[in-house]
Amino acid sequence: MIELRHLTKEYEDGAVVDDLNLTIETGELFVLVGASGSGKTTTLKMINRLITPTSGEVLFDGKPASDYPIRELRFNIGYVLQQIALFPTMTVAQNIALIPELKHWPKAKITQTVNDMLDRVDLPHADYGQRLPAELSGGEQQRVGILRALASQPDVVLMDEPFSALDPIARTQLQDLVLRLHQDMKTTIIFVTHDMREALKLGDRIAVMKTGHLQQVGTPDVVADRPDNPFVAELFADIGTSPLQAPAAELAPFAKTQVQATASIQAIAVVEQVIQLLKVNQAVTVQAGTDAFVVTAQSVVDFLAQKSEVKE
């Protein structure tokens, strides 16, 4: 468990983080969200002691972070940045193996871990292990960055807007990857983003920040549906205006507007994503601009039946 107690960071022009109090549970995917300048990244850097707090403290399982040797602390915290920062002259396998090697893992264990992790994220080790980062797409490089952060099985992984520079398709794929790896590995992840939709998709809980002050903490449903103040309400009111949207007409044939939905998604030209949500939800609201449709499994079946009848 990670605790932030009265955490404050001040510079000459004022406080970037001001009296922040948070508890992050072991195994939780915790999202810090807010506009630029809200103090998210500064908070993240105080957790792994890249920045020293002006006052307050960070505790790991009740022990102040300042009591840990800095090398030990950082070896147990993975870090994924927006700037992918792979070592360009090292192969994919060497990049992933870096921290396990510094921890003096047996060579056979390192090789097995690297190969297993590459295979797990659809980068077959036989094809990708000996490639250089320059030979990969941006999305593939970020996958390797995530694996490098996770390879040594750290207690905590910090992710600082890791997908914001990627195209929409790669971003969606990597969001799904993080969710899958988190479910498999149960690692505590603290994820920073300014994308409200990303926060709602990824977070077990979300902390909303504004100019260094905590505004609200809660599950995605609570933060989006029961905001504590007008700032939080406004922040999540515009999640339907993302550039990931596509024309709503693409999903209009599946619509059944009279059904009450139990999940929602923005229209992003990926019908398969709606189908996946319908496996665990009775209905899905698909929003695009001012238009919204409710799609159910039955409406999809009806649509396909109609298409089949036309062909016959």
Judge contact between 297 and 277, C-beta under 8 A: no
Q: Could you read off the pLDDT of 6-27 as tens digits, one per residue?
A: 999 999 888 999 999 999 999 9
| SS3 label, residue 301 | helix
d(CA 177, CA 180): 5
Query: Looking at per-residue confidence, does 235 or 283 come out higher?
Result: 235
Rg (the chain; Cα; Å) = 21
d(CA 290, CA 13): 41
Average pLDDT (116-123) is: 92
- Hey, which bits of 12-94 come out as E strands? 14-24, 29-33, 55-60, 63-64, 77-81
| SS3 label, residue 57 | strand
Share of the chain above pLDDT 90, in %: 51
Average pLDDT (30-43) is: 93
If you average pLDDT over every residue of the chain, what do you get? 82
Angle at which helix 138-150 crosses helix 92-102, to 10 degrees, equals 20
User: Domains in the chain, start-ordered, CATH in brackets?
Assistant: 2-237 (3.40.50.300), 243-310 (3.90.1280.20)
What pTM does this model have?
Answer: 0.75
- Token readout for 72 is 């030990």
Q: Specify the pLDDT at position 287.
A: 55
Q: Could you read off the pLDDT of 53-104 as tens digits, one per residue?
A: 999 999 999 999 999 998 888 888 999 987 777 899 999 999 999 999 988 9
